Structure 1
Amino acid sequence: MSGETHHTIGELARRTGLSVKTIRYYADSGLVPPTDRSPAGYRRYDPGAVARLELVRTLRELGLDLATIRRVVNKEVSLHEVAAAHAEALAVQIRVLRLRQAVLTVAARRGASPAEVDELHRMAHLTTRERGQLVADFLGSIFDDLGDQPAYPGAIVSMTPELPDDPTTGQIEAWLELVGLCRDPEFRGRMRQLARQHAADHDVPGLPRPDAVAVVRDGVASALAAGLDPTGPGADPVVATVIGRYADLTGRADDADLRQRLLARLDAANDPRRDRYLDLLSVVNGWPTGGGVAPAVDWFSRALRARMPSPAR
């Protein structure tokens, strides 16, 4: 002991950057007790006190309480055990904070009332089973009575949001907005209308399942990219190709009835909420976004209307 260099409390403060008051508090708490005292009664610390103080400071900055730190310093429990337990506790706190942040962000964006904030909070804390029931109710309202159609189970799966166990704040925000769409009666009605139009286009046995929106989206992609005027003569080949493809898929002739039929499908699909649902679904499920069809549907609807005969007077 006599050969060791001992530090005064002031020297420890200079070496560690901690205040004398803080070091004295840690000493009185039993975390870093003095090695001995000088003849004048001042506290003295051995060289290891610097390392102990730095460990105490680090653990305090990481959020550990003094009682736990004392057990680590006194070797009553290993540091890795404490670190693992504290990391797990922090993970739980982080998930809670993400939920709170998402609820408050959406509430602020909507200018929500107290009742709406309460409802957002409730939707953010639904169990996996409760979320599944809400989504099943929404999709059931769209596809009921169409379950015998072979493609609909796949469509239902592709439209099902599945919030992960440890979602990001963005995924929670997307889920909360998605809930609003799922519970919107008008949106439900529009999606149900689309499903029934889709089923009506498939009443010819043996033909591939048609999808008017997909036909349009794929058929006008290059025209959209080129900035082609949908009402100009340059769009004629594009319109003819899309109409021909739709006629082949539905087993119907290209006539005024077919064009009116296709236009009705596009009018029903040309709803920004549909694209928004798909974008939110992609965020929640971790899929790539950007699959909106509204620009293509709008372009072709204008092109088709420009080529429809004027009503007789």
Structure 2
Amino acid sequence: MWSIGELAEHAGVTVKTVRFYSDRGLLPEAGRSTGGHRRYGPEAADRLRLIRSLRTLDVPVPDVGRVLDQEDALEDVIAGQLRELGSRMTALRWREAALRLLQECTPEERADRLRLVGGISTPPSTATMVRFWRRWLPARLPARLVTAILEQAVPQPPDDPTPAQVLAFARLHAFTSGPCLGTGPYQPEAHRTDKGYRPAVLYDGLREAYALASADLRARRPPHQGEALDCFVSAHARARGTRDTPAFRRRLGVQLAADPRIDHYWQLVAELTASPSGPAEPTAGATDDWLRTALNTRTAGVAV
């Protein structure tokens, strides 16, 4: 049986450290001396070394207790620590890229960029973009459809951003947290359920059309008639309860040209998702542009 001082000496720690872990129940006593002093068995030294190893890895004291008391807790604690560490490292990389952005800009640009960068958290959150789309999308869309649209429309911030990507994200944050664009003249005609449109039918069909057109964009094919355009027009026709005819295509081209657009949003998304190693995945905005161009070229009777 060791005294608290003897245990501290065997483990290579201070008496204060032994008392700290003992008071928190991580280091059970084996008994007490006749004078009421704590006594520990030899196994306490091994337990204390394990505690110190876990604390060296910054494992919180409550999690240390879980590891000591539950045989299968270590794996969960390690996974949690790795997630936390990954988040902290991402935050540091974003902070570094933001500082480089400010370092590399001209003195005239610095105040504006500092304001933009100061508006985002590290690691960055996409919550403002999600709220933006929830305001902009028509009401009463099925939840699974809203989820699918958000997954496609809201870009995930890169873990290791360039200064240009930090600037693009900061501008996206400022744009989507500004005055609400979800009502009034900013809404496309197809969102008007009071005029008989069925937005859920439209967006279901557009998802398929965008997937088909994305393959053409990745292959760098110019806008042309084909399956993607047919799917795109069909989605709009079904949402209006009509058929795909040459006359409908002409009307659709005119209506889409008059609809409000959020091109600035998609331009910033493209800048944010740009990859130094190759072309980024086409945005929904770029895909929609491709399909509209294909529609207008076709209805104008020009060979493509």
* Larger Cα-atom Rg: 1
TM-score by length of 1: 0.46
TM-score, normalising length: structure 2: 0.47
